[in-house]
Amino acid sequence: MSPEETRPPSVTRKTVVISNSALAIMLAALSMLGPFSIDTYLPAFPNIQASLGASAIEVQQTLTAYMFSFAVMILWHGALSDAFGRRNIILVALAVFAVATLGCASAHSIEYLWAFRMLQGVAAGAGVVIGRAIIRDLYAGSEAEKLLSLVTMIFSIAPAIAPILGGWVVKHMDWRAIFLGLFIYAVLLLIYCYKRLPESLPPEKRQPFNPEFLYQSYKRVFRSPLFHLKSGAIAFNFAGMFLYVAAAPVFLVEHLGLGPDQFGWQFIPTVGGIFCGALTANRLAGNIPLARQVLIGFSLLIGAGTFNLIYHAIFPPMLPWSVAPLFFYTFGMSMVAPGVTLLVLDLFPNIRGIVASCQSFTLTMLGALVAGVIAPVLSHSPVALAFGQLGFILIALSLWLCGHRYRRLLDMRKEPNAWETLE
C-alpha cells in the first residue's frame, strides 16, 4: 500500500504529514499542560502562602480559580475549532497560556495570582479537547481507540513527574521558578506545533460560528440523556482520582508525614496505574467487546475503592498501603475512559469539537467542585477520603449501566429483533 493510501484522508500533501507516534506525542504534550498547571505547584502551597502573605484557603482557591475558568472556557474550544480549524485554536491557546504563566511567575499578591491562574485555565484546556477531536477526525473504531490510549500512556508521565519536579524546585529555588519552567515548556511547544501540527479539519467541513448554530448545537448535546450518562461515567471516575490530587497537600503532609519533595509516593502509583491501564486498553481495543472492557475496568475501580475504605477504617495511614489502591484505581479508570470517550464523541459526529468541549466541561466542573468544596471537607480524615472515592465509583458505575441500558432500549425501538446484534 502506498503512502498516499495510508495517510488519513484529511491530511494531504498541502498539510504537514506526521506519523501516528509523533502525533500521539504532540497531542500528549498538549494535554500535559493541564496536569503540569495543577500538580507542579501543589508542593509550593506553603511557600506561596508565606511569600504572598495569604491564608491557606486563599492559596487553595488559586486551584479553584484555575479549574473554574478551565471548565467555562473548555465549552468554547471545541466550537472555535469546529469553525476556525483545530490547528489555529491550539496555536492561539498556547500563546495565551505562555503569557498567563509568565504573569503567575511575576505575581506580587494573591489576587494577581488568582487572575493569572484564571487566564491559564482559559487556555490550558484547548489541547485536551481539540486533541480528541483531531484523533476522531483522522481515525475511526479500534484505530482511534488505540491512538487515544497511546496519547493517555504518554500523557500519564506528566502527573507523575510534575509534583516531584515541583517539590525539587521548592526545596532548592523559589516557587516562581515553577511557573518560569512552565513558560519555557509552553513556548517550546508552541514552536513545535507551529512547525509540525497538521490541520485535520479542512475548510469545507467546518461549521458556522454564529449564535443560533451554537445554541442549537449545545442544546442538542446537553439535552441528550446518553451524553450525560456516558460522559458522567467518565467524570465521576476522574473525580475519585482528583479527590486525592486536590487533597494531596493534606493527605501526604499531615496524614502520612511526608515532605514537599516526597509527593512521588502518591503520584507515581497513580500515574503508573494510568499508564498500565491505557496500555491494556490499547492492546484490548478491537479484540474484546467494549462493554466487557469497561466492566473489567469498573471491577478494578470497585476493588480498589473498597480496599482503600476497609484499610483506613481499620488501620492508621501508612506507606505503602495508603497509596497502593490508587494504582489499581487509575488502572481501571484508564481502561474505561478511552472507549467511552469515543462513544460520547460519536453521539454527534458533525460537531465533535463541541461534544468534546461539553464532555470536558462536565468533567472539569466536577473537578472544580471536588477541589473547592469536597476535598477540603473530606481531607481531615483518610476514611472520609476513601468513602468519598468509593461513592464516586458507585455513581460512575450506575451512570454507565443506565446509559448502556438506555442505548439498548433505543435500539429495540428502532429494531425490535435487534437484541442479538448488540454488544
Q: Is 310 exposed, middle or buried (0-12, 13-18, 19+ CB in 10 A)?
A: middle
> Please, what are the domains in the chain?
16-201+218-412 (1.20.1250.20)
Grid coordinates in use for 70? Answer: 478551565
Supply φ then ψ for residue 260, to 5 degrees: -65, -20
Looking at the predicted structure, is the pLDDT value of residue 301 above 60? yes
Mean pLDDT of 103-113: 91
Overall residue count recorded for the chain in this entry: 423
Cα 323 versus chain centre, distance: 21
In this predicted model, which residue has the larger pLDDT, 216 or 310? 310
Q: CB neighbours of 156 closer than 8 A, spacing ≥ 6?
A: 271, 274, 275, 278, 334
DSSP annotation of 208? P
pLDDT at 422: 34
pLDDT of residue 18: 66
pLDDT for 285 beyond 50:
yes
pLDDT in tens, 212-229: 888 888 888 989 988 999
- Rounded to two decimals, what is the model's pTM? 0.69
**Between 210 and 333, where is the model more confident?**
333
Q: Tell whether the model's pLDDT for residue 5 goes beyond 60.
A: no
Look up residue 204 and give its DSSP letter.
Answer: G
The mean-pLDDT minimum among 113-117, 149-153, 164-168 falls in: 149-153
| Whole-number Å distance between alpha carbons of 282 and 238 | 19
pLDDT of residue 415: 52
Rounded to an integer, what distance in angstroms lies between the CA atom of residue 97 and that of residue 91?
10
Q: Label residue 302 by pLDDT band (50, 70, 90).
A: very high
Contact 305, 329 (CB under 8 A): yes
pLDDT in tens, 24-69: 888 888 888 887 888 788 888 888 988 888 888 888 788 888 888 8
Is residue 69 within 8 Å of 119, Cβ to Cβ?
yes
* The one-letter amino acid at 126: A
pLDDT tens, residue by residue, 336-384 = 888 888 888 888 887 777 888 788 788 878 887 887 789 888 988 999 9
Residue with cell 519555557: 184
pLDDT digits (tens, 9 = 90+) for 372-399: 789 888 988 999 999 999 999 999 999 9
Confidence category of residue 414, pLDDT binned at 50, 70, 90:
low
Helix pair angle (352-369, 324-345), 10° resolution: 150
Q: Could you tell me how many helices (H) and strands (E) the chain has, helices first?
A: 20, 0
Query: What does DSSP assign to residue 201?
Result: S
The per-residue pLDDT of the chain, averaged, comes to: 82
- Least reliable range by pLDDT among 87-101, 223-237, 364-378: 364-378
